[in-house]
Amino acid sequence: MNILDLDLCLKIEKKAMNSSSSSWVDSLDLNASSTKSLQLETTVSHPNTSNSLIVFGRKLSVKEESGTLMEELNRVNAENKKLTEMLKAMCESYNALQSQLVDLMNKNTEKELSPTKKRKSETSNNNNGNIIGNSESSSTDEEESCKKPREEIIKAKISRAYVRTELSDTSLVVKDGYQWRKYGQKVTRDNPCPRAYFKCSFAPSCPVKKKVQRSVDDQSVLVATYEGEHNHLPPSQIEATSGSSRLGSVPVGSTPVKSSGPTITLDLTNSIKSSDEARNSKPKLDSPEATQYLVEHMASSLTKDPNFTAALAAAISGRMFSTNSN
């Protein structure tokens, strides 16, 4: 929350209401320690006399005028102080809410990731009961992680998508807009349904792998686990930008909606690895980077949104009016 923004808005708000109120000051400085910018609308300097002022047609002595000024100054200072306190309280509430949001999202992320035991994390992840996709990730260097396969698994960007399919559909295919090549299938201990292993076959150098397995709890739900980051754009985007027809037969698109039933899916495969990709795609919705991005974006949007600041200014000025009328 930017105090300067609020100050500016208050000034604008005040000017808009000038016609209906004559007791306002031209400039409202929210910094309680400073009264430099304070100007009183009701005082007008007389061009001929330096020691006296004409207020509402009545000539006042310097003593009377200074008394009036001091009174006005004290009143405005009191208002200023109240405003500052209100703003401070609002900022505290905002920060508390924001930290609460971040904590909540971090807890969800930690729940997903057990950092020491890969296999155990798999087991616990399968039982979290979430239908909407979730993921965990950490910033990593792909080249470094290639040297240490185990660390790669831990550090690699891992995301998860849940897709509802027909029970009769045994294909274990999750259409997410990318091109996959199946390289293995295994029946795991904790799940009687086989797990299929896929590699991204669109780009030979693409390190992304995908595991697809039916959920233990609900076998109509396919759990797709993505590991790593694509070092290329989705085929759908490349096709759209280049106009190439080579991929015409590839089922593309991030919304694999089946006509026979409801399908819930998330395209979690957008990469934020390179700046070029970051420009072309949004960060993953459920990664910590995305969380941070989301929080910052929300805060930025709120402070930059003229509607929000105007509403805030209106609320504060309304409060001030009620204070003045008392």
Partner DNA sequence: CGCGTTTGACCTGCGC
Partner DNA sequence: GCGCAGGTCAAACGCG
Q: Given the rule CB under 7 A, which residues bind DNA?
A: 116-120, 122, 149-150, 180-186, 188-190, 195-197, 201, 209, 211
Q: How far is the CB of 235 from DNA (least distance, A)?
A: 12
Tell me which H or E stretch contains 222: strand 221-227
Q: How far is the CB of 201 from DNA (least distance, A)?
A: 6
Which of 82/182 has CB closer to DNA? Answer: 182
Which of 216/295 has CB closer to DNA? Answer: 216
Q: How far is the CB of 271 from DNA (least distance, A)?
A: 19
Which of 58/147 has CB closer to DNA? Answer: 147
> Hey, what amino acid is at 6?
L
Give the strand pairing for 135-136 and 58-60: unpaired
Q: How far is the CB of 219 from DNA (least distance, A)?
A: 17
CA–CA separation, 86 vs 94, rounded Å?
Answer: 12
Residues comprising the chain, all counted: 326
Buried b (16+ CB within 10 A) or exposed e, 198-225: bbbebbeebbbbbbbbbbbeeeebbbbb
Which of 31/170 has CB closer to DNA? Answer: 170
Which of 195/284 has CB closer to DNA? Answer: 195
Which of 201/303 has CB closer to DNA? Answer: 201
Q: How far is the CB of 262 from DNA (least distance, A)?
A: 25
SS3 for 230-251, per residue?
CCCCCHHHHHHHHCCCCCCCCC
Phi/psi at 123 (5° precision): -65, -45
Q: How far is the CB of 211 from DNA (least distance, A)?
A: 6
Answer for the pair 203, 260: CB distance below 8 angstroms, yes or no.
no
Helices 3-16, 306-325: axis angle to 10 degrees equals: 70
Which of 47/248 has CB closer to DNA? Answer: 248
Phi/psi at 266 (5° precision): -130, 135
CA–CA separation, 14 vs 20, rounded Å?
Answer: 10
Answer for the pair 191, 202: CB distance below 8 angstroms, yes or no.
no
Which of 15/186 has CB closer to DNA? Answer: 186
Which of 150/279 has CB closer to DNA? Answer: 150
Strand partners, 25: 40
Answer for the pair 177, 208: CB distance below 8 angstroms, yes or no.
no
Q: How far is the CB of 232 from DNA (least distance, A)?
A: 15
Q: How far is the CB of 291 from DNA (least distance, A)?
A: 25
Q: How far is the CB of 172 from DNA (least distance, A)?
A: 8
Phi/psi at 59 (5° precision): -80, 125
